[in-house]
Structure 1
């Protein structure tokens, strides 16, 4: 937490996992330290900006209501929008949630500020390519890479391949390989039309800023149905000659290919190549070419690949695309 003028900036440390009870305890402890030290002095109005769990929101409300006449919380989806050469911006608006003794605001009023935030875009990116390329390993490493970037949105993962390797698999494999493999065999099943329909609906309805969809390694009617509601694609292949057929498949589905990555199990380092001026010209460049190419080495189960240069680069790319 940090108070900047009237705005209290809050957020999670997403690198070190903790239960909701611990998070509430730590939030209260930090808030009381800031109050006791005079960093949060009280007054007419305080505006709260940043992600917080529901229990933490109750703690903040209770403590701050004793210090301020008005407490208001940011709603990032409302506010006047303006267009700029670098993209759309929206002025931050706060909804009054507590008001006592104030002649200016009542509960439900909006407080508009002159602070602008970029209009964010929803990215639904498919990790696709031939089987045995390391897509599940990339998925877990990519998720951790984005989580370690405190400026990045929370990445939502959809496991769209019933190969038994859900989000639980990597952690279980690290701690007990035999158990992980046994559970994988038990949970693995063939893709059915019913599974494809249900998963496609999940892809269509998800509305997080970054959504990662891990699909099976076949160009099939089922994958076509699952991938169709997505917006972007990353092609990962251990055989570079397979890129073309997967590019054609993505083009058929009107998915924008943002990266082509050669998976090299026996290599010792990554190669990362961004298109020139990719941040400034992302939308323009994506009409004709992926923004990121190169290779990633040793996507192997049981290893933390989140710090690989290519995985980090792909995470940065996805975060940037939410701002385009």
Structure 2
């Protein structure tokens, strides 16, 4: 099974992530597939190629490098612009006066209207939210037919989506980079992060916020639709405060989890209407994607997106 899928449908290159893998494997699989398509003549060139689907920055560079010389112009689908209900592409590369950089290409291809899930991972500090976030992203990616889990790091602690993988490879470097990227949690940052959440329109968005009930988090979280509360042994008494905080913001709580750092196994207490229980040893650098609670939460989120039947989701 490949880590990245590429196919051609008419003049549209359909791309999407496959099996969970590191970026280097994704790039190798994408390169091999593109070479195969060029050699076979499937990608033979033309006036315009449109690209539709999620891609990492590295994959985007690779696609541009491999095929930009074959086509007069390349346009990329942007779900945030154009006529409601239809797909619109932005010209990102051009070698012909027929198309200009930044030009919008509107199509009659329907863009399915799906519920947009904006799930905030919240709770007291030092509970393992960033570790859960990374494991959840990997677990969702392994579910066939699941939407791509788009992660928004809405706290200025310097620990972006890159951190977990970097920590597994080089903990000292990861820590050093985190310290360099860390900034103050200012009102300006909060409003900027709130804008990221507000404009997010992919089917499944996971938002990682700071570990304190503050006005900054209020500004960010009011743009969310659902919440997962995670608290450790030392902060159980803060859970009711986070529940009240979410209710005040009209955010639907879908999971209330105990981060059992010293535990040896997960415990699922209830699955519906609220997922409760514990997830063990959420430590930086640990791959927690196969933990039963992480898997259960992944199924709940995908189910809310319509990716699974209600029975399967719970």
Q: What is the aligned length?
A: 270
* Residue of structure 1 in register with 2:279 after alignment: 296
1:127–1:214: 8 Å Cα contact kept in structure 2? yes
When the two chains are superposed, the root-mean-square deviation of aligned CA atoms in Å is 4.2
Q: CA deviation at 1:147?
A: 1.8
What residue number does 1:203 align with?
Answer: 197
The 1:22/1:235 distance shift into structure 2, 3 A limit, reads: same
Conservation of the 8 A alpha-carbon contact between 1:23 and 1:56: no
1:13 and 2:13 correspond: no
Structure 1 Cα separation of the partners of residues 134 and 144 of structure 2: 17
Q: Which residue of 2 aligns with 1:27?
A: 33
Q: 1:253 aligns with which of 249, 258, 262?
A: 249
Q: Matches of 1:203 and 1:109 in 2, distance apart?
A: 27
For residues 207 and 229 of structure 1, what CA distance do their matches in structure 2 show?
12
Q: Which residue of 2 aligns with 1:321?
A: 304
Structure 1 residues 163 and 35, CA gap change in structure 2 (3 angstroms): closer
Deviation per CA, 1:298-319, whole angstroms, max 9, x where unpaired? 0001111111111111111111
Shift in Å at residue 23 of structure 1?
Answer: 4.7
**Quick check: 1:27–1:56 contact (8 Å CA) kept in 2?**
no
* Structure 2 partner of 1:168: 162
Question: 1:246: Cα distance to partner?
Answer: 0.6
Give 1:160 deviation, angstroms: 1.2
Structure 1 runs not aligned, ≥5 long: 37-47, 64-73, 78-89, 94-107, 277-288
Shift of 1:9: 8.8
Q: Does the aligned pair in 2 maintain the 1:174–1:302 contact within 8 Å?
A: yes
Question: Counterparts of 2:207 and 2:163 in 1: how far apart (Å)?
Answer: 16
State the shift of 1:27 in Å: 2.5
**Equivalent-residue separation in structure 1 for 2:193 and 2:79 (angstroms):** 28
Q: Distance in 2 between matches of 1:167 and 1:262?
A: 22
Could you say which residue in structure 2 is the equivalent of 1:83? none
Q: TM-score, normalised by structure 2?
A: 0.68
Q: 8 Å contact 2:133–2:206 — kept in the other structure?
A: yes
Deviations 1:189-228 (A, max 9, x none): 3311111111111110111111111111111111000101
Distance 1:124 1:27, change over 3 A: same
Runs of 4+ aligned structure 1 residues displaced above 3 Å come to 8-12, 17-25, 28-36, 48-57, 74-77, 108-112, 273-276
After the TM superposition, which residues 1-324 of structure 1 pair with which residues of structure 2 at under 5 Å, given as runs?
Answer: 11-16=16-21, 17-18=23-24, 22-28=28-34, 120-239=114-233, 240-276=236-272, 289-290=273-274, 292-323=275-306
Give the SS at the match of 2:161: coil
Instruction: Name 1:100's counterpart in structure 2.
Output: none
Q: Tell me, yes or no, if the aligned pair for 1:122 and 1:210 is still in contact at 8 Å.
A: yes
Q: Distance in 2 between matches of 1:186 and 1:306?
A: 28
Find the residue that maps to 2:265 and give its secondary structure.
Answer: coil
- Does the 8 A contact of 2:54 with 2:148 survive in 1? no
Please give the alpha-carbon distance, in whole angstroms, between the structure 1 residues aligned to 2:265 and 2:30.
Answer: 41
Relative to structure 1, is the Cα distance of residues 300 and 27 closer, same or farther in structure 2, using a 3 angstrom cutoff? Answer: same
> Matched residue of 1:194: which SS?
helix
| Mapped contact 2:197–2:224 kept (Cα < 8 A) | yes
- Give, in whole Å, the separation in 2 of the partners of 1:109 and 1:204: 25
Consecutive unaligned residues in structure 2, runs of 5 or more: 1-5, 43-50, 71-76, 88-105, 308-314
Q: Retained in 1: the 8 A contact 2:257–2:277?
A: yes
Is the 1:197–1:226 Cα contact (8 Å) retained in structure 2?
Answer: yes
